Amino acid sequence: MEFDIITAFPDMFEGPVSHSMVMRARDRGLVEVRLHDLRDFASDRHRKIDDVPFGGGGGMILVPGPLFAAVEAIKDRHPKESSRTLLLCPQGTRYDQAEARRLAGYDRLILICGHYEGVDERVREHLADESISIGDYVLTGGEIPAMVLVDSLTRLVPGTLGDEEAARRDTFSQECFDYPQYTRPADFRGFKVPEVLLSGNHERIAAWRKTRALEETARKRPDLLKPRAPGRASAMRDH
Ligand SMILES: C[S@@+](CC[C@H](N)C(=O)[O-])C[C@H]1O[C@@H](n2cnc3c(N)ncnc32)[C@H](O)[C@@H]1O
């Protein structure tokens, strides 16, 4: 899977795309992350990318020209049959694991990071295929939301995780949470690992895990156990 990220702050990505799973996926050629500095697509010598809003009001707005030029250049340089251009935006479709699975179906995502007071509306109307929000709160820019997408989508690229079965069990990949996990030592300061996990009896362990996963889901997120609309339910199950 490939990501083309358009941002006025490319250095912000240095850490998140250069460590752990994302870096390993990049090293193995499973994931490609290309950063595009929005200022490189500005047409004036001051590399201006923002301006004041028409009609007044505070803050600066990203102007459309460099964003359109960036997306067009990316499509020219890296043509892809299956590509989607996403504007990161707090007013967009709420991102969750079902959305992640849907977006993982594209070969390449172009991610447009807004900043300052936002982005000229014509970008949403005429450039982006859709807008994505990572939650009902407002961040300074679309960079952290873009990192959230790159990280969560990388986990879904086949071959990225050592244990694909573990991903299938992940919270939000099925209709209940992942089960509680324990590791050594079996007794830590008197806090003991449930005896069944030390029993070696795989049937009992599987039954215990299923029960505990359902109990935790019912306690913390009962809404996940409620029947969903058909499309939504199958999206949660598809893996
Ligand atoms: C300060 S925000 C602009 C908020 C805008 N004035 C509004 O109220 O809708 C600047 C940029 O951060 C990004 N952003 C902020 N919160 C976000 C969220 N929850 N999900 C995705 N992107 C977000 C968007 O790219 C946005 O253009």
Return all residues near 76 (Cβ < 8 A) that are at least 6 apart.
none
Residue 112 and residue 86 share a domain: yes
Q: What's the domain range around 107?
A: 2-154
pLDDT digits (tens, 9 = 90+) for 57-66: 999 999 999 9
Name the DSSP letter for residue 104. Answer: T
CATH code at position 132 = 3.40.1280.10
Could you tell me the distance, in angstroms and rounded to a whole number, from the CA of residue 93 to the centre of ligand 1? 13
Number of domain units in the chain: 2
Residue 72 and residue 12 share a domain: yes
- Of all atoms in ligand 1, which is nearest to the CA of residue 141? 12
Residue 97 and residue 38 share a domain: yes
Residue 158 is among the residues annotated as catalytic for this protein? no
pLDDT digits (tens, 9 = 90+) for 144-169: 999 999 999 999 999 999 887 777 77
In a domain, 206, yes or no: yes
Domain boundary among 154, 189, 204: 154
Could you tell me the distance, in angstroms and rounded to a whole number, from the CA of residue 139 to the centre of ligand 1? 6
- Of all atoms in ligand 1, which is nearest to the CA of residue 114? 25
Residue 147 and residue 70 share a domain: yes
Residue 80 and residue 8 share a domain: yes
3-state SS, residue 237:
helix
What span, in angstroms and rounded, lies between the C-alpha atoms of 96 and 103?
A: 11
CATH code at position 173 = 1.10.1270.20
Total length of the chain: 239
Domain boundary among 114, 134, 154: 154
In a domain, 72, yes or no: yes
Over range 25-36, report the average pLDDT. Answer: 98
Pair type for strands 61-62 and 50-51: antiparallel
Average confidence score pLDDT of the chain: 93
Residue 130 is among the residues annotated as catalytic for this protein? no
Residue 79 is among the residues annotated as catalytic for this protein? no
Query: Which of 60, 88, 143 has the most ligand 1 atoms within 8 A of CB, as the residue to mutate?
Result: 88
The percentage of the chain sitting over the pLDDT mark of 70, rounded to a whole number, equals 95
pLDDT digits (tens, 9 = 90+) for 187-212: 999 999 999 999 999 999 999 999 99
Q: Kindly report the pTM of this predicted structure.
A: 0.92
Q: What residue owns the CA closest to ligand 1's atom 25?
A: 114
pLDDT digits (tens, 9 = 90+) for 73-114: 999 999 999 999 999 999 999 999 999 999 999 999 999 999
Domain boundary among 133, 154, 175: 154
In a domain, 160, yes or no: no
pLDDT category of residue 229 using cuts at 50, 70 and 90:
low
Residue 135 and residue 26 share a domain: yes
Neighbour-count burial for 59-83, b at 16+ CB within 10 Å, e otherwise: eebbbbebbbbbbeebeeeeeeeeb
Residue 232 and residue 149 share a domain: no
Q: What is the pLDDT of residue 230?
A: 58
pLDDT digits (tens, 9 = 90+) for 103-145: 999 999 999 999 999 999 999 999 999 999 999 999 999 999 9
Residue 134 and residue 26 share a domain: yes
Could you tell me the distance, in angstroms and rounded to a whole number, from the CA of residue 56 to the centre of ligand 1? 19
In a domain, 144, yes or no: yes
Question: Does pLDDT of 173 surpass 50?
Answer: yes
Q: What residue owns the CA closest to ligand 1's atom 17?
A: 90
Q: Which residue has the higher pLDDT, 235 or 225?
A: 225
In a domain, 210, yes or no: yes
Residue 139 and residue 32 share a domain: yes
Question: Does pLDDT of 218 surpass 50?
Answer: yes
pLDDT category of residue 239 using cuts at 50, 70 and 90:
very low
Residue 198 and residue 143 share a domain: no
Catalytic-role residue among 34, 155, 169, 221: 155
Residue 227 and residue 201 share a domain: yes
Residue 194 is among the residues annotated as catalytic for this protein? no
In a domain, 159, yes or no: no
Catalytic-role residue among 40, 117, 175, 178: 117
Q: Which residue has the higher pLDDT, 228 or 124?
A: 124
pLDDT category of residue 228 using cuts at 50, 70 and 90:
low
Protein residues whose CB sits closer than 6 Å to any atom of ligand 1: 88-91, 113-115, 117-119, 133-135, 137-142, 145
Residue 90 and residue 6 share a domain: yes
